[in-house]
Amino acid sequence: MSKLRILFDRVRSEEKMLQEKASELGHDAKMIDAKITQVNTESKKSDFDFGDVVLERCVSYFRGLHFTACLEFLDVPVINSFEVANNCGNKMITSLLLKKHNVPTPKTYFTFSSEAALENLEKIGYPMVIKPVVGSWGRGVMPLKDRDTADAIIEVRELNGGPLDRIYYLQEMVNRPPRDIRVIVIGDQVVAAMYRTSSGSFKTNIAVGGEPVACEITKELEDVCMKAAKAVGGGILGVDVMEDKKRGLVVHEVNNTVEFKGLARVAKKDIPKEMIGFAIKSAIK
């Protein structure tokens, strides 16, 4: 029996599934609310009940990331590591790592002011896709079909004025069917895959109505996803893949605290069981 802790800030069905499965497997599984936990520089591992391993499942990326740093400071094994969370939480860093490790990925442009972004777009041409470097569920992902749209969207970004709004992430519009593939990689294996078909818009996120449909795990899909997972440091990851009509599979994102409610409905393998097994195995190492 191992002691598994699930770090949360909002309990979703995924966290409940994880706790139920861990208990069913005979482990001591408890939830830790990140919002009410207090850590300081004098804290010791023994001051807390963080068990043998913590699964970081915060819905807030920055909260989860910073809490992970505290757990690593306390020498508590945590899945995923700070480095992996940091690599996946920022789309620019993910894109750079994917390319660096020869993972096929859409061509992506980075600029660091609105002027440079517009100048860059004039050079590249349209359509393009603008994405916030931090964010999820397809939020803030917008197609830029012409100069007028780009002017408007970039002006709004300027008005918002958040520090990350000044980082412009512009990606080629991939010529693909109206769907993408979400793949769950756990350690050194691909555990499940599904197509997410868009419900009319160009976004395919389940959070905005994308429909999950089971997807066969081909050798090509497995290879590209394992390579992508390794590029960001490995762990429990959600790899997002598009089917480019010319180039084949391209990876556009790797998610750190993967949601699997949709995929669990169509997957052959027991996703929570695989996650728990991996976390416990990692802690023993």
Partner 1 sequence: MNCPECDAKLNIPDDAAVGEIISCPDCGSDFEIASKNGSTCQLKQAEKVGEDWGE
Which of 62, 64, 26 is closest to 236 using CA atoms?
64
Query: In the beta sheet, which residues pair with residue 195?
Result: 181, 213
Q: How far is the CB of 164 from partner 1 (least distance, A)?
A: 8
Residues 135 and 131: their CA atoms lie apart, in Å, by: 8
Return the axis-axis angle of helices 114-124 and 147-160, rounded to nearest 10°. Answer: 160
Q: In terms of CB distance, is 51 or 132 closer to partner 1?
A: 132
Q: How far is the CB of 259 from partner 1 (least distance, A)?
A: 5
Contact stretch for partner 1 (CB under 8 A) within 13-21, 115-123, 150-158, 276-284: 13-21
* Whole-Å CA distances, 256 to 43, 47, 150, 235: 26, 27, 30, 8
Residues 137 and 107: their CA atoms lie apart, in Å, by: 21
Task: Report DSSP state, residue 103.
Answer: -
Q: Which residues contact 108 (CB under 8 A, 6 or more apart)?
A: 92, 95, 169, 170, 171, 172
Q: How far is the CB of 32 from partner 1 (least distance, A)?
A: 10
Residue 274 binding partner 1, by CB under 8 A: no
Amino acid residing at 24: E
**Binder to partner 1 among 9, 72, 151, 222 (CB under 8 A)?**
9
Q: In terms of CB distance, is 121 or 180 closer to partner 1?
A: 180
Per the omega criterion (within 30 degrees of 0), is the bond before 120 cis?
no
Residue 68 binding partner 1, by CB under 8 A: no
Q: How far is the CB of 59 from partner 1 (least distance, A)?
A: 5
Binding residues among 29-58 for partner 1 as defined by CB under 8 A? 31, 33, 35
Residue 235 binding partner 1, by CB under 8 A: no
Q: In terms of CB distance, is 89 or 210 closer to partner 1?
A: 89
Q: In terms of CB distance, is 134 or 173 closer to partner 1?
A: 134
Instruction: Tell me, by CB under 8 A, how many residues bind partner 1.
Output: 30
Task: Report DSSP state, residue 14.
Answer: H
Residue 255 binding partner 1, by CB under 8 A: yes
Which of 241, 249, 236 is closest to 189 using CA atoms?
236
Residue 152 binding partner 1, by CB under 8 A: no
Which residues make up the interface to partner 1 (CB under 8 A)? 8-11, 15-16, 19, 31, 33, 35, 59-63, 89, 132, 134-137, 139, 162, 207, 238, 255-259
